[in-house]
Amino acid sequence: MELETRILAKNDALATKNRAWFAGREILALNLVSSPGSGKTTLLERTIRDMKITTKLYVLEGDQATANDGERIRAAGAPAVQVNTGAGCHLEADMVARGLVELKPESGSIVMIENVGNLVCPAMFDLGESAKVVILSVTEGEDKPLKYPHMFRAAELMILNKIDLLPHVDFDVSRAIANAREVNPDIIILQVSARSGEGLETWYDWLRHEVGQAREAAFA
């Protein structure tokens, strides 16, 4: 317990530095978390393609191994730095700090941090982000928020992805939403399909609003 406390304290100190770095450059930094296969990378690809004309986006791509997702992000049109954790199950604040040195995001931009696919460890590690965004797909169980309450409690926004598959899966949307709000009454919930584009404008509106908030906060 003492070792864990020291590790988290060191991480939190570095996260505070990251947060100040982002704030000083009016950058919106988002920590995207989910189980593997929820569609995080596909959502990022679609977001980049749809918003890159008006919004500068950068991506820190976290995986245990391979550079596949980083290559997909660059092909979609955004600068990306791949951060591989090896046996680690989550990104940490120092990994983000090192990645930012290479990524060099512009002031006023959005930095998307795609965390390792895992709903446990990333809940404990602050990266200096403005908000955590948890992605839940309709191909998973609607009880995920109850099984992993720490992650859904830490998230500001939940994206319910792959809604185009609802006619083909046994998934209760209203129950999933109720479960998420049971552990986090204030969580914002958006229903989208990264494949079909349904609901994505609500996600883009949320991003634009948060970018504006990041800029206003720099002068508060």
Per-residue pLDDT, averaged over 197-208, amounts to 98
| Integer angstrom CA distances of residue 32 from 6, 93, 219 | 25, 14, 26
User: What is the per-residue pLDDT for 5?
Assistant: 63
Per-residue pLDDT, averaged over 4-26, amounts to 89
* Residues 170-199 as b or e (16 or more Cβ within 10 Å = b): ebeeeebbebbeebbeebebbbbbbeeeeb
Torsions phi, psi for 79 (to 5 deg): -65, 140
Q: Are 131 and 138 in contact (CB under 8 A)?
A: no
Q: Are 133 and 44 in contact (CB under 8 A)?
A: no
The span from the CA of 12 to the CA of 172, in Å, is 37
User: What is the per-residue pLDDT for 48?
Assistant: 97
Q: For all residues of the chain together, what is the average pLDDT? A: 93
User: What is the per-residue pLDDT for 220?
Assistant: 65
For residue 85, pLDDT over 50 is answered with yes
Per-residue pLDDT, averaged over 46-57, amounts to 96
User: Which helix (DSSP H) or strand (DSSP E) does residue 137 occupy?
Assistant: strand 131-137
User: What is the per-residue pLDDT for 163?
Assistant: 98
Domains of the chain: 2-217 (3.40.50.300)
User: What is the per-residue pLDDT for 208?
Assistant: 97
For residue 84, pLDDT over 90 is answered with no
User: What is the per-residue pLDDT for 66?
Assistant: 76
Residue type, 136: L
Model's pTM, two decimal places? 0.93
Confidence category of residue 69, pLDDT binned at 50, 70, 90? confident
Q: Are 211 and 108 in contact (CB under 8 A)?
A: yes
User: What is the per-residue pLDDT for 33?
Assistant: 96
User: What is the per-residue pLDDT for 216?
Assistant: 84
For residue 145, pLDDT over 70 is answered with yes
Per-residue pLDDT, averaged over 172-178, amounts to 98
pLDDT above 90 coverage of the chain, percent: 83
Q: Are 83 and 102 in contact (CB under 8 A)?
A: no
Among residues 102, 99, 117, the alpha carbon closest in space to that of 14 is found at 99
User: What is the per-residue pLDDT for 6?
Assistant: 65
pLDDT tens track for 90-134: 899 999 999 999 999 999 999 999 998 899 989 989 999 999 999
The span from the CA of 215 to the CA of 24, in Å, is 9
User: What is the per-residue pLDDT for 3?
Assistant: 46
